[in-house]
Structure 1
Amino acid sequence: MKINEYTQGLVLGILSFVLWGFLPLYWKIVEAVNPFQIFAHRIFWSFLFVILIIILKKKGQDFRRELSNPKTWVSFIAPSLFISINWMTYIWAVNNDFVIETSLGYYMNPLILIFMGRIFYKEKLNTLQKWGLGFAFAGVILKTLLYGRLPLISLAIAISFSTYGFLKKKTKVDSLTGLAFETLIIGIPAIVYILYVEISARGISGNLPYYYWLLIMTSGIATATPLLLYAESLKRLPLKIMGFIQYISPSISLLLGIFAFNEPFDKWSLSAFALVWIGLGFFTYSQVLLLRNERRKPD
C-alpha cells in the first residue's frame, strides 16, 4: 500500500462526506421548488459545471474521444441509474422531513459496501474492524426495529448508493469524465422535463422569486464537488475503508435532523446510533494504528 496515496484517499473521502452531510441545509433552502424539478435542475447544472471544469483543465479532447466510444456509454448507464434513484429519494425525503431516516440509510450503506468488498474483492477485515462492523451492524438493526416498519427510504438510499460506489470502482475512465457521462445520460431527459414545466408555467419562472434561479444553479456545484472527491477517493482506498468513513455524512445529517429540523429522536434512537458511533470508534482506532505502522516501515 502506498501511504501517500492512502492518506490522499482518506482526506478526499472525508471531505466528500462532510460536504454531503451538510447538503440537507441546501435542499431545505430550495424546498419551495418541486422535488422532481430540483432533481432535474441538479442533473443539468451539474453537467454544465463538470463540462466547465473539463474545459478549464483542457480535457475536452479526452471527453470527446470517450463520447465516440459505445463501450463507455454502456458502462455508465447502470451507475447513472443508481445515482439517479439515490438523488431523487434523498431530495424527496429531506424536503418531506425524513432527514433522520435518510441518515439511517447512509448508516446502512457502508455495511452493504463492506459486504461487496468482501464478496467481490476478497477484502479482509482485521480484528478491530470486525468489532467496529459488529457494533455498527447492531446499531443499524436496532434502529430498523425501532421504526416498527420496513424503512423503505433508508433501504432505497443504502442500496442505490452502495451499488453506485461498487460500479464506479470498476469503471476505467477518470473521475471527471465519468461524472460528465453520468450527468449527460441523466441530463438528456432532465432538460426535456425542465423545458416542459417551464413552458407549462409550472416551473420556477412566474411562480417563485427570480433569485431561485441563482439558488438552483448552485446545485451543480453542490452536487459535482463531493461526487468528484468521492470518485477520486474510491480509486485510492479499498471498499472496506470507504464503507467506514461514510459514517461521517449520516452523523452530520442526524445532528441536523435533531437540532436544526426538530425531527423526533428518543432515547432508544440514541441507543441505536450510539452503537454505530462505538463501531466507528473501533474503526478509527484501527486506522490510526495502520497509518502509524505504515510510516514506520523503511522506504
Structure 2
Amino acid sequence: MTPLRLGYLYGLVAYLLWGFFPLYFKLLRPTGPLEILAHRVVWSVAFVALLLAVMRNIGFLRFLLRRPRALAGVGAAATLIAINWFTYIYGVNSDRVVETALGYFINPLVVVLLGVLVLREQLRRAQWAALGVGALAVAVLTVDYGRLPYLALTLAFTFGGYSLVKKRLGLPAAEGLFVESAVLAVPALVFLGWLAASGDAAFGRVSAGHTVLLVLAGALTAIPLLLFAGAANRLPLTALGMLQYVAPILQLACGVLIFHEPMPPARLVGFALVWLALIVFTADAVRHARRNRRSRRDSEVGAAAAVPAPR
C-alpha cells in the first residue's frame, strides 16, 4: 500500500472512531462526566506508557524537562483538552449530541479566527466570507436555542486552542499525549480516590462490562489520535481538512437518527449556514493549494531551464 493510501486509511479510521464516540459514551451511564473524564485521563496514561515502553522511547522526557517553556505549553494543552473532553462527555450524556456535532463543524472556522487573532495571519476574501456566514449561523442557532450554543462554542474554541498550542509545541503524537495525560493524572487520581472513599464511584459497581468500558476509554482516546498523526504525516493538508468532516457528520447522524434529538426548521437553517461556510472555506483551501502547487511547478521548470547545458 502506498503512503498516500495508507494516510487516507489512517485518517478515515480515526474520524470514523471519533464519529461514533457518542454511542460509546452513552454506554458509560450512569457514570458522571467528571468520573468518565478522570478514567479517560488515567487509562490514557497507562495505555500510552505501555506503548512507549514497547517503542523504547521514554528518553524524550529528559529532553522535555530541560525545556520549561515547552512544559508550560504542555500544561496549557492539557487544560484545554481536559475542558474539551469534559464538555463533550457532558453534552453526549445530557442528550445534546447534535450540539456537540455543531462544535466540530464550527471548529475549522474557529481555527482560522485564532490564526487572525493570535498569529496575526492575513485572510483571503473567501475566508472572511466563510467566517461571516459562520457568525450568522451562530446567531440563527442562538435564536433557535434561546441561548448561545455554548457547548458547541466551548468545544470549537478549546479544540482550536489545543490545535494551536500543539502546533507550536511540535511534539510527536504518542509522546505529547502521554505528557498531557500525565499532567492531568494526579488531579484525576485524587478525584477518583475521593469518589471511592465517599462511596459515590460508579467504577466496579455497575457491572463487569461497564468497568471494562471505563478502562478501555484510555485506549479509545489514544488510538484515533495516533492514527490521525499517521494520516497527517502522509496526506496533503487539504485532504486532511476534507476528511475532518466525517466525524461531525456521523455524530449528527447519531444524534438525530439514533438518539432522536429534535432538529426543528430553524436549527436546520443554522446548520445549513454552517455547511455553506465550510463549503466556501474548503473550496478556497483547495483552490489555493492547487495554485501553490502550480506556482512551485512553474518555478521548478523555470529553474531547470535556467541551468546551462553541459559543454
Aligned to 2:21: 23
1:211 to 209, 212, 215: 209
1:95 to 93, 98, 107: 93
Q: Which runs of 5+ in 1 are unaligned?
A: none
Whichever of the two has the greater Rg, that structure is 2
Note if contact 1:110-1:244 (Cα within 8 Å) is conserved in structure 2.
no
2:193 is matched with which residue: 195, 200, 215?
Answer: 195
Report whether the alignment pairs 1:260 with 2:258.
yes
Question: Of residues 184, 187, 190 in structure 2, which corresponds to 1:186?
Answer: 184
Aligned to 1:155: 153
Which segment is superposed worse, 36-45 or 198-207? 198-207
Structure 2, gaps ≥5 residues long: 301-311
Report deviation, 1:190: 0.6
Q: Name the structure 2 match of 1:61.
A: 59
User: Which position in structure 2 is the counterpart of 1:273?
Assistant: 271
Give the percent of matched residue pairs that are identical in Structure 1 and Structure 2: 35
Tell me if structure 1 keeps the 8 A contact 2:141–2:148. no
Quick one: structure 1 residues 218 and 205, their matched pair in 2 at CA, closer, same or farther if it must change by over 3 Å? Answer: closer
Secondary structure at the counterpart of residue 265 of structure 1? coil
The whole-number CA distance in structure 1 between the counterparts of 2:188 and 2:175 is 19
1:104 corresponds in structure 2 to 102
Given residue 100 of structure 1, which amino acid in structure 2 is its aligned partner?
V
Q: How many angstroms apart in 1 are the aligned matches of 2:230 and 2:169?
A: 12
Distance in 1 between the 2:280 and 2:155 partners?
25
* Higher mean displacement: 263-272 or 102-111: 102-111
Q: How many pairs were matched up?
A: 295
1:240-261 residue CA offsets vs partner (Å, 9 max, x unmatched) = 9977754433222111111111
The answer on whether the counterparts of 1:110 and 1:242 sit within 8 Å (CA) in structure 2 is: no
| Residue 122 of structure 1 pairs with residue 121 of structure 2 | yes
Q: Secondary structure at the match of 1:60?
A: coil
Find 1:138's aligned residue among 123, 136, 139. Answer: 136
Determine if the alignment matches structure 1 residue 73 to structure 2 residue 71: yes
1:130–1:110 CA distance, 2 compared to 1 (3 A) = same
Q: CA 1:236–1:145 in 2, change beyond 3 Å: closer, same or farther? A: farther
Secondary structure at the counterpart of residue 32 of structure 1: coil
Look up the match of 1:83.
81
Which moves more between the two structures, 283-292 or 254-263? 283-292
> Structure 1 residue 237: deviation in Å?
8.7
Q: Quote the offset at 1:77 in angstroms.
A: 0.8
Alpha-carbon contact 2:106-2:274 (below 8 Å) kept: no
Q: CA deviation at 1:136?
A: 4.1
Deviation larger for 273-282 or 289-298: 289-298
Deviation at 1:239, TM superposition (A): 9.0
Q: Secondary structure at the match of 1:186?
A: helix
